């Protein structure tokens, strides 16, 4: 087993996919699986899977394979899904609502405790049982509740000011949907950028450079 700090980011980025696959196997009542079978279902190689799991001590047993519920639980532990990092969301528009409804309904390691918007008309609305508060209350709310993480669903034009305030009042990690470069402005905080457009542009490139494009 390598030290947790030495595990490569590419291994860490594969863990959620293992977790998701194992969740589905578990839901389908599968209790035991070989690394070969898991690899073939996931489009990986068995040695890749063994290498990834060995970074955390290895979970299989020679001749048995993996116990699915146990492995699912262990990967969940590594991903800290049972933790509830206090999280706030800024921007209760279309994206903010969708993220609140879809992303905070299952265990993720994060607990949404507050939603903020500058549009008075949205304040007081409830999203998944959480009231939308006026952004003017952000600072006091953070002092009282000490959130650690912020989800940013506002236009990048407003992000500089909001990010400075959030960092000042103790936010340590950002799930950033805006195009604003938080990491550049605040190199000491953790940032995970999510850009659906990047994914679509990548697909566009691949679609246009492979043989799937229809000739006109």
Return the residue of 119, 136, 145, 202 that touches ligand NAI, per CB under 6 A: 119
The answer to whether 100 contacts ligand NAI (rule: CB under 6 A) is no
SS (H, E, C) the chain: CCCHHHCCHHHHHHHHHHHHHHHHHHHCCCCEECHHHHHHHHCCCHHHHHHHHHCCCCCCECCCEEEHHHHHHHHHHHCCCCCCEEEEEECCCHHHHHHHHHHCCCCCCEEEEEEEECCHHHCCCEECCEEEEEHHHHHHHHHHHCCCEEEECCCHHHHHHHHHHHHHCCCCEEEECCCCCHHHHCCCCEEEECCHHHHHHHHHHHHHHCCCCCCC
The answer to whether 194 contacts ligand NAI (rule: CB under 6 A) is yes
Q: Residues 134, 118: contact at Cβ < 8 Å? A: yes
Q: Which is nearer to ligand NAI, 94 or 210 (CB)?
A: 94
Mark the segment that binds ligand NAI (CB under 6 A) among 46-54, 73-81, 87-95, 201-209. Answer: 87-95
The answer to whether 99 contacts ligand NAI (rule: CB under 6 A) is no
Mark the segment that binds ligand NAI (CB under 6 A) among 13-21, 23-31, 58-66, 194-202. Answer: 194-202
Q: Which is nearer to ligand NAI, 1 or 200 (CB)?
A: 200
Return the residue of 18, 66, 175, 177 that touches ligand NAI, per CB under 6 A: 177
Q: Which is nearer to ligand NAI, 34 or 108 (CB)?
A: 108
Return the residue of 68, 127, 154, 171 that touches ligand NAI, per CB under 6 A: 154
The answer to whether 180 contacts ligand NAI (rule: CB under 6 A) is no
Return the residue of 37, 70, 84, 158 that touches ligand NAI, per CB under 6 A: 158
Q: Minimal distance in Å, beta carbon 105 to ligand NAI? A: 18
Q: Minimal distance in Å, beta carbon 189 to ligand NAI? A: 18
Rounded Cα gap, residues 113 and 33, in angstroms: 38
Give, in order, the Cα–Cα distances in Å from 110 to each of 105, 169, 173, 201.
10, 19, 11, 29
Binding site for ligand NAI (CB under 6 A): 90-96, 116-119, 122, 135, 153-155, 158, 162, 177-178, 194-197
């Amino acid at each position: 087993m390598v030290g947790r700090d030495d595990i490569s980011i590419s291994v860490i980025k594969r863990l959620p996919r293992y977790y998701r696959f194992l969740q589905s196997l578990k839901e389908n009542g599968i209790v035991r699986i070989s690394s070969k079978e898991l690899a073939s279902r996931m489009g990986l190689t068995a040695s890749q899977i063994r290498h990834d799991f060995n970074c955390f001590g290895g979970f299989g047993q020679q001749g048995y394979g993996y116990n699915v519920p146990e492995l699912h639980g262990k990967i969940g532990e590594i991903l800290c899904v049972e933790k509830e990092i206090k999280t706030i969301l800024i921007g209760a528009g279309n994206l903010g609502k969708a993220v609140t409804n879809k992303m905070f309904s299952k265990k993720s390691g994060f607990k949404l405790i507050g939603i903020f918007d500058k549009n008075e008309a949205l304040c007081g609305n409830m999203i998944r049982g959480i009231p939308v508060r006026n952004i003017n209350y952000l600072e006091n709310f953070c002092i009282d509740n000490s959130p650690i993480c912020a989800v940013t669903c506002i236009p990048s034009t407003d992000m500089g000011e909001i990010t400075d305030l959030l960092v000042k009042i103790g936010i340590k990690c950002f799930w950033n949907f805006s195009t604003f470069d938080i990491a550049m402005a605040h190199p000491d905080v953790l940032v995970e950028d999510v850009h659906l457009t990047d994914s679509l542009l990548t697909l566009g490139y691949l679609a246009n450079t492979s043989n799937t494009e229809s000739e006109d």
